[in-house]
């Protein structure tokens, strides 16, 4: 039996969003000592934040923060707890955002590394620190979501870190590459289907 299929209009992208949660702190994950440093950033400069967000997320078509007007982005950042991961040389290589607005729960709103830091142990360190920070106070639930456009190891990594999937949704958005938010070269794993002429189903951009 075939499942239901829904056409995604040219100029848009569709992704499967997976939600994961935990209700108790996991066992500590081993991580390289002394190689990484996590620093709180309580009042980030907007241009600096967008630059780091783009460095981390452009390959995976992160765009939600990039399309917000400056005032709206400043308001969003003021509502979260932002931490920046640096390597031993002081280079900024990762971002962690925690949202504590719901009593008793913490959302890991953003968790990511620049490409150069993947496979170095930085993700294990960042997750260990995320758990240490999130499970502070009277917290009963920590959760996050990721999508099928993200790194293919994202869901397995979160499960290994102690999260359990509990929900999936389908999300459809305008393709951020078509309105200049991200370059056309971003997200090579998600072929870009441009708007075509009337009656034309669209064309794939190389």
pLDDT tens by residue, 147-202: 999 999 999 999 999 999 999 999 999 999 998 999 999 999 999 887 763 444 44
Give the pairing type, strands 12-22 and 141-147.
antiparallel
Percent of the chain with pLDDT over 90: 79
- pLDDT band of 203, cuts 50, 70, 90: very low
d(CA 84, CA 152): 23
Q: What's the pLDDT tens digit per position in 12-23?
A: 999 999 999 999
d(CA 86, CA 13): 32
Q: What average pLDDT does range 107-111 have in this prediction?
A: 98
Contact 203, 191 (CB under 8 A): no
Strands of the 12-22 sheet, one edge to the other = 36-40, 81-87, 92-99, 105-113, 141-147, 12-22, 164-174
Q: Check residue 2 and give its pLDDT.
A: 74
Helices in 34-178 by DSSP H: which ranges? 46-57, 70-78, 122-134, 154-160
Rounded to two decimals, the pTM is: 0.89
Residue by residue, DSSP assigns 10-40 as TTEEEEEEEEEEESSPPPPPP--SSSEEEEE
d(CA 29, CA 9): 43
Q: Check residue 28 and give its pLDDT.
A: 75
Q: What's the pLDDT tens digit per position in 81-95?
A: 999 999 999 999 999
Domain 33-167: top CATH class:
alpha beta
Give the pairing type, strands 81-87 and 36-40.
antiparallel
Mean pLDDT of the chain: 90
Q: What average pLDDT does range 135-144 have in this prediction?
A: 96
Any idea which residue has 């996590």 for tokens?
A: 38
| Residues near 187 by beta carbon (within 8 Å), at least 6 away in sequence | 58, 59, 60, 61, 149, 177
- pLDDT band of 31, cuts 50, 70, 90: low
Q: Check residue 204 and give its pLDDT.
A: 44
Q: What average pLDDT does range 97-120 have in this prediction?
A: 95
Measure the CA angle with vertex 194, ends 150 and 176; round to 5°: 40
d(CA 103, CA 91): 34
Q: Check residue 197 and give its pLDDT.
A: 36
- CA dihedral over 33, 157, 15, 13, signed as positive or negative: positive
- CA dihedral over 111, 115, 116, 119, signed as positive or negative: positive
């Amino acid at each position: 039996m075939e499942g239901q299929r829904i056409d995604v209009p040219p100029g848009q992208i569709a992704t499967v969003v997976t939600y994961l949660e935990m209700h108790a702190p996991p066992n500590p994950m081993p991580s390289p000592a002394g190689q990484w440093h996590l620093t709180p950033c309580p009042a980030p400069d907007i241009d600096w934040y967008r630059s780091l967000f783009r460095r981390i997320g452009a390959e995976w078509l992160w765009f939600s923060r990039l399309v917000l007007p400056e005032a709206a982005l400043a308001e969003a950042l003021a509502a979260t707890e932002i931490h920046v991961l640096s390597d031993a040389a002081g280079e900024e290589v990762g971002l962690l955002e925690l949202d504590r607005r719901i009593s008793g729960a913490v959302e890991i709103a953003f968790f990511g590394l620049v490409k150069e830091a993947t496979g170095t142990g930085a993700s294990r360190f960042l997750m260990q620190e995320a758990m240490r920070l999130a499970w502070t106070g009277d917290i009963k639930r920590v959760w996050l979501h990721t999508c099928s456009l993200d790194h293919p190891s994202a869901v397995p990594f979160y499960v290994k870190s102690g999260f359990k999937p509990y929900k999936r949704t389908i999300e459809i958005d305008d393709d951020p590459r078509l309105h200049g938010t991200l370059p056309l070269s971003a997200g090579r794993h998600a072929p870009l289907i441009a708007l075509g002429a009337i009656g034309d189903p669209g064309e794939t951009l190389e």
